[in-house]
Amino acid sequence: MLPGPVFRFELITTARRPRYFVARTLYGLFLLFVLWQEYQSWGNVRFVVTFESMSRFAQATFMAFAWAQGFALIAMIPALLAGVIADEYQRKTLHYLLASRLTSREIVLGKLCARLLYVGVILLMGVPVVSLVALFGGLDPWEVLYVYSGTFSLVLFLSGASLLISVLTTRPRVAVVITYTLVFIWFFVPMALAPTAAFFGPPLDWVKPVTDAVLLTNPYQVWQKISSTNHHYNNMIIYNRTGAAGWLAMQMDEAIETLVWMVGLQTALGALFLTLAVASLRPLRGGAWPGVRKPARVRWRSLLSRSPRLWNAPARPPCGDDENPVLWKEKFAAGGGLTWLRSRPVVLVLSVLLGCYLLDAGWPVVADWFGMSGGQSPRLVLNGALRESSTFLFLLLTLSVASAGAVSLTGEREGDSWVSLTATLLTGDEIVRGKILGALWCSQRLFLALFVMWGYGLLLGAIHPLGALLALLGLGLFTWFAAALGVFISLRAKNSTRALAATVFWLIVFNGGYLVVFIPFLRQGTDMLLAGMTPYAQWLALFSYADIGSLWRDESFQVAGFAGRHGWETFGLLAIAYFVYGVGALLLTGAAAEAFDKVDDRPRRSVDSRERVAVRLEAPTG
């Protein structure tokens, strides 16, 4: 019965982990930042300090606090709960729990209650803020009740979905990635489709009802409705417009109705997800469903395994003497990290969408060859489209390469192949180099998509050959740095989830996070500080013929129609970016190779010593 031993164990272990202290500190600083921003926005407006103005300030501050708390919970709950069951399975301790006298309900709900207690601490951190804001007056207790009821239902909904995905998956990093992906789709995609879903005809006429149903569970709709209602009501009061009270009552009734639907649906779905997680824990992780035959694909797989050699012909070529064995293994392994980014369905869908987009942008160029174009500069328009689509693909490629490198060595430990890898005659430099090249190799489809796009631009004259060479050089250096960073972090991380999170964090820091320190300098108009942003450098490197012509005439030019002016200093920015990331990639590769043997306490080996050992092993005995 609850709370049970699982709850007590989780409560003790989570209280000792430093990252929870760090998370609470960051959340508190985030709340202070939001309140400071709200105070600054009101401080910049000149108004008379009256009871009414202070009341409006309290309402606006509370709504800003509600927004901040909601987004913080959406960002934190999947990270807290999505990997709890999958982590037990990966550490091979789940079968001990399933073999005990604990029921599935005690296991799942024990972990849920322990993590929700931590979420409750996060929510309690905002109570002093609400109490202080209430001193200004004008804070309706019913609004506080509405916000916290929506918050609790949101917590239940996200917790149930995260636990269900954790039960269905076997690795915590996969569970976390899938949960965040589904949360992103649930929160943002319906809002993006809502304005145009009503215009979809067959066979897409189902999009609008599905979008409307999903929007009923979206907290953004309720938050936006209440915020806009208060904002318009305050404006009506300021300008002494009649009928403000009646209008407010009508709008608040609609907002409350939307809130009731959201709370009810989120509570029902959260309870359903939790029920499914409890019911499927033992059948999925403790054995097969009782009385159910094996799936057809499993039967066919076992049948093919007993078939003649023709069906099981090896698809992998043998590893050559001059080929790196680690790279050979990485080429034909499934790979790790965010594998869905480089999977065939994702690349196929992106290729079709980008192909249609670029075909539409490139048709005026073809029409201009035959004198049928009415546009001013179709090649510049196509150049802008190629810059935007290339930057988007480059972001996916960098994330794919970095994630593959981040799980390259931690995956060996979690797959029980670390001992066999370190026991080989391969040197640390060969293993690290093979892992880095393997991380680049597994994203070959995304590389190919970028090469096709740039070739398309070169063929139609939208990209200058010098721009293509600069973009190609930057692509090689930036992806090498991402792969080396992932492998270096993977070498020291305890598991793949931490390695993946740390790699993404440092990529964000290197690609724009550092600009927080240089905000005062950015206002002066210089863009040399943007040299660390690899997407910006890739976007800038795809020069058109008009850009190179302007440089030849020693004139400034606009890139893809943007207001900023560029000139010869642009090459200085690219040179800084290529030099910094090239040196960084080289240093990370060398540091990972040097630290490989030290981390595992393995004697330092060289190629010569390996060859001597190999000759000694091949020498005839007796």
Higher-pLDDT residue of 110 and 368 is: 110
User: How would DSSP label each residue in 431-456?
Assistant: HHHHHHHHHHHTTHHHHHHHHHHHHH
What the block records as the tokens of 165 is: 């995905």
DSSP character string of 224-242: HHHHHHHHHHHHHHHTT-T
Q: Does the pTM of the predicted model rise above 0.75?
A: no
* pLDDT for 239 beyond 70: no
Which residue from 586, 605, 587, 607 is spatially nearest to 596, judged by alpha carbons? 605
Question: In the prediction, which pLDDT does 573 show?
Answer: 82
pLDDT at 271: 92
Give per-residue pLDDT as tens, 65-121. 888 888 888 888 888 888 888 888 888 888 888 888 888 888 888 888 888 888 888
Question: In the predicted model, is pLDDT for residue 518 greater than 50?
Answer: yes
Residue 586 is predicted with a pLDDT of 93
Instruction: Tell me the per-residue pLDDT of 275-331, one tens digit each, with 9 for 90 and over.
Output: 998 888 887 765 444 444 444 544 444 444 444 443 333 445 666 556 677 777 777
Q: Would you state the pLDDT for residue 30?
A: 81
Specify the length of the chain in residues.
622
pLDDT at position 20 over 70: yes
> Over the stretch 36-46, which tens digit does the pLDDT of each residue have?
777 777 665 55
Burial class (CB in 10 A: 0-12, 13-18, 19+), 196: exposed
Integer Cα distance of 38 and 57 in angstroms:
9
Strand pairing class (565-566; 557-558): antiparallel
SS3 585: helix
- pLDDT confidence tier of residue 620, bands split at 50, 70 and 90: low
Q: Write down the H helix ranges in 100-218.
A: 104-124, 127-134, 141-168, 172-197, 207-215
Quick one: pLDDT at residue 563? Answer: 46
Is 439 in contact with 487 (CB distance < 8 Å)? yes
Q: What are the tokens at 606?
A: 């060289």
The alpha carbon torsion through 279, 284, 285, 289 (nearest 10 deg) reads 90
Q: What is the mean pLDDT of residues 190-217?
A: 79
- Per-residue pLDDT tens digits for 162-176: 999 988 888 887 888
- 61 pLDDT higher than 60: yes
The per-residue pLDDT for range 316-360, each reduced to its tens digit, is 566 655 667 777 777 766 555 556 556 666 666 666 666 766 676
Cis amide prior to 318 (ω within 30 degrees) = no
Mean pLDDT value of segment 481-496: 88
Please, are residues 161 and 182 in contact by the beta-carbon 8 Å criterion? Answer: yes
pLDDT at 411: 80
* Predicted confidence (pLDDT) at residue 576 exceeds the cutoff of 60: yes
